[in-house]
Amino acid sequence: MTNKKVKNILSKISSFGIILLILVISLLIVLYARGYNLDLSNFSITSSGIIRINTTPNNSQVYLNNKYVGVSPLVLNSIDPGSYYIKILKNNYTEWNSLVTVKSGNITNVDSFLLPSQVDQSIVKTDGNIYKVIYNDNSNYIYIITDKSGVYKLYYINLSLITNGYSLNYVANLSKIINFSKGGNISIKSNTSLSDLILKYNNRYYIYNVLTNKLTLLSKLIYIYNLENINWTDSPNYIVIKDNNLLATLSLSTDQVYLLSYNSMNVVYRNINSSQIIFSSYSSTTGISDIFISNLDGTDKVLAYKIKGDVNNIFVNDQESYIAIGTTLRNNYLLSFNNNILSNEVPFANGNNIVSFNSQNNYILTEKNNTLYAYYVNNLSNITVIDNYNELSNIKLYSLGSYIFYQKKNIGSNTYSLYEQTIGGNSPVLISKDTVGNYYITIGGNYLFFNYYYNNNTYLYAVTLIKNNNIFPFSL
């Protein structure tokens, strides 16, 4: 073989090698762009993941495993599968951190809320120290009890006017009207007009009229001593009174009591609207629960349905088009509701406990074997939402969307971590890791309030759920 032929062969081999190398490099570039990495230690190609980080506020410093990687919002590409420690810092805000898991070929979303570390103490001024904050479940009010030299006064904040400022409104001197003293367990429930309050103090129930300064002990009107539950109906003029086997309503305008059910083994009720109530009456003889719909004054009471088993919960959505009923036999039913008629009984999620019904539309939450499920109302298909349900508390379903809020107690502390999770989403979003006590979502779902513990002080924070998740504090 001549030297010329050898050179031609070597030239062709070299050209082929170059082309092959170009193809390999191109392939690696394409694979890398699609999230694959070359592991040279064992010459293998692995699929990586992506971490997408959003923060409130933006322009926060982001650290991955304590290494600075940039400012938010930020997308980290080609991250090997595994667990990573995310830390987010910003001046004048408290540190946010979380452990996230990156899966092969997946995008891991990290949404963080940073709480201001400095609070303007002049935003809300009170006469005395804060003794207690009470979130009202029946209206758009938060109640605050102050203590000054043993004198306890009651204030409220109107959440529907929160954008106009954080002003406290004076209600009454509790020390005078019910001889309230420190250490007493008090609860407050108001109607939508704030003209009347239900006060429970030392296991006695009172009605207090804010406008007339009139205090009425309920036992003077109702001769029942084992009251289990007193609450407002959807009407500002009626309250509902319940013990285990009795259900009645009280008209505040006439002081008239209307008996709806008595001598039942168990009574469960739920408001339907401002004039009607739905309740169950269980008979141990027949094993059947009768489902009644009645006007609040007891008129036009209709036996609407019969269900096997003892009812333990009734849920009505705000649009008053569906009613979900759960029994102690763990048989659950979804019924259509129209013109006082319950129809189209659909059994669903048998063996589950109903936890919550979306107050406006889509989802019913249930629990079975320590796992939380969401059932879509239209076709009752289910989604696994949360495992380890028993470790969580105070689960609430956001009425305007498919969001769940819940708390988890921090180990060795009296504080809680507060999370938000999207139904069908991959991971929860930490809102606050040092939440104290309860939290409250306002009617309409515009705001979420929670107590936050920082530097031995407790502050009240509000998160706007609709307007870009902005956090604004006001001092207590």
Give the residue from 94, 74, 86 showing the smallest Cα distance to 429. Answer: 86
- pLDDT at site 173: 92
pLDDT in tens, 269-292: 988 888 999 999 998 889 999 999
Residue 105 three-state SS = coil
Residue 60 or 347, more confident: 60
Contacts of 219 (CB under 8 A, 6+ apart): 204, 205, 225
CA–CA distance, 221 with 289 (Å, rounded to integer): 29
Of the pLDDT bands very low, low, confident and very high (cuts 50, 70, 90), residue 120 is very low
What is the mean pLDDT of the segment spanning 198-206? Answer: 85
Strands 363-368 and 169-173: unpaired
Judged against a pLDDT cut of 50, whether residue 142 lies above it is answered with yes
- pLDDT at site 320: 59
- pLDDT at site 279: 93
Q: Which residue has the tokens 């830390």?
A: 87
pLDDT in tens, 433-442: 777 777 777 6
Please state, for a pLDDT cut of 70, what percent of the chain lies above it: 75
CA–CA distance, 438 with 434 (Å, rounded to integer): 12
Judged against a pLDDT cut of 90, whether residue 12 lies above it is answered with no
Of the pLDDT bands very low, low, confident and very high (cuts 50, 70, 90), residue 380 is confident
Q: How many helices (H) and strands (E) does the chain have?
A: 2, 40
Judged against a pLDDT cut of 60, whether residue 226 lies above it is answered with no
Q: Which residue has the tokens 């168990």?
A: 266
Judged against a pLDDT cut of 60, whether residue 157 lies above it is answered with yes
Note the maximum CA span of the chain: 122
CA–CA distance, 377 with 243 (Å, rounded to integer): 32
Peptide bond into 57 cis (omega under 30): yes
Of the pLDDT bands very low, low, confident and very high (cuts 50, 70, 90), residue 121 is very low
Which of 303-307, 393-397, 408-412, 453-457 shows the lowest per-residue confidence on average (mean pLDDT)? Answer: 453-457
Most confident region among 181-195, 238-252, 353-367 by mean pLDDT: 238-252
Contacts of 335 (CB under 8 A, 6+ apart): 305, 322, 323, 324, 325, 342, 343, 344, 345, 346
Tell me the CA distances in angstroms from 59 to 50, 86, 316, 430, 447, one per residue in order.
20, 15, 43, 18, 24
What is the mean pLDDT of the segment spanning 155-170? Answer: 71
Amino acid letter, 319: Q
In the chain, the N- to C-terminal Cα span, in Å, equals: 96
Judged against a pLDDT cut of 60, whether residue 298 lies above it is answered with yes
Residue 291 or 26, more confident: 291
With b meaning 16 or more CB within 10 Å and e meaning fewer, what string describes 343-360? Answer: eeeeebbeebbbbbbbbb
Judged against a pLDDT cut of 90, whether residue 342 lies above it is answered with no
Tell me the CA distances in angstroms from 386 to 244, 266, 392, 402, 421, one per residue in order.
32, 31, 10, 14, 9
13 phi and psi, to 5 degrees? Answer: -65, -40
Tell me the CA distances in angstroms from 420 to 113, 122, 147, 371, one per residue in order.
11, 30, 34, 17
C-alpha torsion angle, residues 379, 321, 396, 146 (rounded to 10): 180
What is the mean pLDDT of the segment spanning 321-329? Answer: 87
What is the mean pLDDT of the segment spanning 287-301? Answer: 92
Neighbouring-strand partners of residue 268: 280
Judged against a pLDDT cut of 90, whether residue 293 lies above it is answered with yes
The DSSP code sequence of 403-442 is EEEEEEEPTTSS-EEEEEEETT-SS-EEEEEEEEEEEEEP
Judged against a pLDDT cut of 80, whether residue 238 lies above it is answered with yes
Of the pLDDT bands very low, low, confident and very high (cuts 50, 70, 90), residue 62 is very high
- pLDDT at site 476: 41
Q: Which residue has the tokens 């300064």?
A: 213
Residue 166 or 92, more confident: 92
Give the residue from 200, 194, 192, 195 showing the smallest Cα distance to 174. Answer: 200
The DSSP code sequence of 302-343 is EEEEEEES-EEEEEE-TTSSEEEEEETT--EEEEEEETTEEE
The pLDDT mean for the chain works out to: 78
Of the pLDDT bands very low, low, confident and very high (cuts 50, 70, 90), residue 123 is very low
Judged against a pLDDT cut of 50, whether residue 172 lies above it is answered with yes
CA–CA distance, 309 with 311 (Å, rounded to integer): 6
Judged against a pLDDT cut of 50, whether residue 475 lies above it is answered with no
- pLDDT at site 44: 54
- For residue 116, the 8-state DSSP code is B
What is the mean pLDDT of the segment spanning 446-460? Answer: 68
Please state, for a pLDDT cut of 90, what percent of the chain lies above it: 13
Amino acid letter, 102: V
Neighbouring-strand partners of residue 83: 101
CA–CA distance, 431 with 417 (Å, rounded to integer): 8
Residue 145 three-state SS = strand
